[in-house]
């Protein structure tokens, strides 16, 4: 009966929830989904795809953007980081410091 464990079921639950018009813009749900992929499944490429979907659905959430930078910095290229930071500026989601300083501080701390 078990078809690969709980992971496909959990993915299905997240995807079904995000297909709901009322939940599609729920930042907490997107953050939980990204966190699940990063910390439980350890699939950073899937987390990256989900992150891009998330910022498309909730472009106003600075916390969502920063989560992506901090959790996915190991697989985001410097060009992607720079491009994302520029898009944030265009959307007037200003950072008090450069994203590279945040990531460096995170690595040292």
Q: What is the pLDDT of residue 2?
A: 44
Number of neighbouring beta carbons within 10 Å of residue 59: 15
* CB distance 25 to 10 below 8 Å: no
Rg value, the chain, Cα: 15
The yes-or-no verdict on residue 102 having pLDDT over 60 is: no
pTM: 0.79
Q: What is the pLDDT of residue 105?
A: 61
Average pLDDT over residues 53-65: 93
Average pLDDT over residues 57-85: 89
Please report which confidence band the pLDDT of residue 29 belongs to, taking 50, 70 and 90 as the band edges.
very high
């Amino acid at each position: 009966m078990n078809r690969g464990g709980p992971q496909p079921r959990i993915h299905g639950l997240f995807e079904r929830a995000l297909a709901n018009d009322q939940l599609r813009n729920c930042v907490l749900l997107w953050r939980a989904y990204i966190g699940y992929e990063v910390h439980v499944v350890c699939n950073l490429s899937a987390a990256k795809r989900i992150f891009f979907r998330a910022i498309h659905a909730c472009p106003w959430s600075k916390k969502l953007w920063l989560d992506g930078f901090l959790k996915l910095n190991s697989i985001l290229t410097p060009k992607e980081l720079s491009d994302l930071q520029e898009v944030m500026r265009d959307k007037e989601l200003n950072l008090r410091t450069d994203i590279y300083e945040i990531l460096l501080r995170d690595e040292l701390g």
